[in-house]
Structure 1
Amino acid sequence: MTVRIPGFDYRRIAVGGPIALNAAIGGSGDPIVLLHGFPQTHLMWRHVASDLARDYTVIVPDLRGYGESDKPEARGAETYAKRTMAADVVALARALGFEQFALAGHDRGALVAFRAGLDHPGAVTRLGLFDTPPTVDMWEVLHGADAAVAFHLYLMAQPPGLPERMIAASADEFFGHFLDTWIGDVDAIPAEVRAEYLRASREAVPSIVADFRASAGIDLEHDRADRRAGRRLAVPVTVVQQDWGSVLGFDAAALWRTWTPDLDHRTTRAGHFMAEEAPAEIVAALRDLLTRRPI
């Protein structure tokens, strides 16, 4: 890792069994954990984390299977289930002395954060979820030709072997495709950060595919079970997303209200990489969330 968040300390923290996560830690005060998306690492939060660290303890890990965190071989669906990855996050916070914490996630990190909010309501005090609906809803709103925007979900849902070989054969082109096509402001990801994202992704193809494969299997099962049981997020939730409802033909705010009674739903004109493209907007949303009274 050649690029770091300035002023943050870096630690490898054991979260259970042989698994350790790489985490950047800065600031002081009440804790907030920030979880990155695909095809990125914790560095995507560099601007937001630096601002929040003026008033909060900010914990920014690489997810299991990404960046400099451990990448266990997927010996079963549970290895990269969002339930497992959410438990990593709770263990990480506890290892740092925090039994309760606010949590925000982007893209894949949003799926982990969502699962943590459902599975660990006593630990997670507030949730910020950025540009990814819950797994069960994600699959349901994708349909027809519009689903082509998410071709990678279908590719990595295939059985082990072919997806890994195909992606590894042209890793920089594959991961670079998303960095190039999902961004609104091409200057938001400088060359050295882009190079770090590509290096980290190139070195993590099997674990990244396993993460996505879980979302077409065990994660979907967990979400469906929770929906049948009527489980909902019991904390204040802020959602910031591109206007996917208009693009794919669904009411995004109504979708989220089925999961939480305490919702602040916002759309952004930024591209998918909003924490890098519009950090002031994301900081404002998170600061509002962190000071919002539960209903």
Structure 2
Amino acid sequence: MHPTIPGFTYRRVPVADDVTLNVAVGGSGTPVVLLHGFPQTHLMWRHVAAELASHHTVICPDLRGYGASDKPAEDAQADGVTYAKRTMAADTVALARALGHDRFALAGHDRGALVAIRAALDHPDVITHLASLDVLPTLDTWDVMHGTTAAVGFHLYLMAQPPGLPEQMIAASADAFFGHFLDIWTRDPQAIPAAIRAEYLAASRAAVPSIVADYRASAGVDVAHDQADRDAGNQLRMPVSVLQQDWGTALGFDAAARWRAWAPDLKHATVSCGHFMAEEAPGEVVRAVRELIAR
């Protein structure tokens, strides 16, 4: 029996010709969509979603390629489009629309935040508010990674390689690979109980090719899309809230300044916890989302 978010109903929603998403829906009120990160599933939102559901319709999908959602094969001739954040953003808009919502607030963590940022840039009339947890936009991520400090992002470089080697290496030791990030990115190990950890590892083990394809896209097509927006002067037009660990100084850049270049209406705050803040500091995340939606 797979863990679920208590009180939420589960369904499978077609969002593209070849992709159906697994989604948990709960609560009632104005809609909020929550997008998970790596190496996780929608379950990372279990605490936050339950709290937000008291005033909102909360929609928690597994991203394409993750969890119990469909995992289309990467099209080698399509330059990474299968797992481009633009494609995954379109999934998100189609999902909300299928559930009856033409406009909604959107929050994402890690990989899900990259999808959320792209959704807000591509669909500014659909995304009313944007929250990003512990990530920089794709273009900035690569800009700030250099020298020995970039060692913390070794997985970004590994999964950026052409198809074959990274999938083989990761699949050969999947639990050790994915478990490594669950361990080193968590300040409070109790925040991810054994049953949830097992679910994350099982889901990731079954999704190695699609997870790698997601990351590979972020070293190619996603950068091109971000660069095109920057060159055109496109920005995030809605209220934006960013929560991050206090890692900017350690890596030698000003994270808030990076974000301000994209988001004129920005609230940027640091949170004293590990990377998985929706599980380690759910109360702070809930407050930030509620304050954002009130703006």
**Range class of TM-score, shorter chain:** over 0.9
Match of 1:161 in 2: 164
Provide TM-score, normalisation by structure 1.
Answer: 0.98
Q: Residue 244 of structure 1: CA displacement?
A: 2.2
CA separation in 1, counterparts of 2:288 and 2:148?
32
Q: CA-to-partner distance for each residue in 1:187-225, whole Å, 9 max, x for gaps?
A: 000000000000000000000000000000000000011
Task: Give me the whole-angstrom Cα distance separating, in 2, the residues matched to 1:215 and 1:244.
Answer: 21
Query: Counterpart of 1:142?
Result: 145
Q: Which position in structure 2 is the counterpart of 1:63?
A: 63
Segments of 4+ moved more than 2 angstroms: none
Deviation digits for residues 8-50 of structure 1, max 9, x if unmatched?
0000000020210000000000000000000000000000000
**Amino acid paired to 1:54:** S
CA RMSD in angstroms, aligned pairs only: 0.6
Q: 1:105, 1:74 → 2: CA distance?
A: 23
- The answer to whether structure 1 residue 35 and structure 2 residue 35 are counterparts is yes
Partner of 1:104: 107
SS at match of 1:20: strand
Q: How many residues get paired? A: 292
Distance 2:16 2:110 in 1: 24
Give the aligned residue type for 1:286: V
Give the match for residue 264 of structure 1.
267
Corresponding residue for residue 291 of structure 1: 294
1:133 lines up with 2:162 in the alignment? no
CA deviation after TM superposition for structure 1 residue 252, in Å: 1.1
How many Å apart are 1:250 and its aligned residue? Answer: 1.0
Give SS of 1:57's match. Answer: strand
Q: For residues 164-183 of structure 1, give each alpha carbon's deviation from its aligned partner in whole angstroms, at most 9, with x where no partner exists.
A: 00000000000000000000
2:94 matches 1:91? yes
Q: Distance in 1 between matches of 2:33 and 2:287?
A: 16
Q: Does 1:282 align with 2:285?
A: yes
The reply on whether 1:120 has 2:155 as its aligned counterpart is no
SS at match of 1:198: helix
TM-score, length-scaled by structure 2:
0.98
Residue 250 of structure 1 is matched in structure 2 by 253
SS of 1:73 mapped into structure 2 = coil
Q: Residue 16 of structure 1 aligns with which residue? A: 16
Other-structure match for 1:206 = 209
Q: 1:53 matched to which residue of 2?
A: 53
> CA separation in 1, counterparts of 2:188 and 2:149?
23
Q: Aligned equivalents of 1:231 and 1:12: distance in 2?
A: 34
1:12 is matched by which residue type in structure 2? R
> 3-state SS of the aligned residue for 1:127?
strand
Could you list the runs of 5+ residues in structure 1 that have no partner in the other structure?
none
Q: Secondary structure at the match of 2:241?
A: strand
| 1:247 CA drift (Å) | 1.1
Specify the code of the residue in structure 1 equivalent to 2:116. Answer: A
Q: What secondary structure is seen at the aligned counterpart in 2 of 1:266?
A: strand
Amino acid at match of 1:177: H
Distance in 2 between residues matched to 1:40 and 1:82, nearest whole Å: 17
Write the distance in 2 (CA, Å) between the matches of 1:228 and 1:4.
43
- Give, in whole Å, the separation in 2 of the partners of 1:26 and 1:37: 20
SS of 2:65 mapped into structure 1: coil
Letter of the structure 1 residue corresponding to residue 43 of structure 2: L
Offset at residue 245 of structure 1 (A): 1.4
C-alpha distance in 1 between matches for 2:39 and 2:12: 21
Identity within the alignment, %: 69
What pairs up with 1:172-187 in 2 under 5 angstroms? 172-187=175-190
Gaps of 5+ in 2: none
SS at match of 2:182: helix
| Residues 99-140 of structure 1: CA deviation (Å, up to 9, x unaligned) | 000000000000000000000001100000010100000001
User: Which amino acid in 2 is paired with 1:2?
Assistant: H
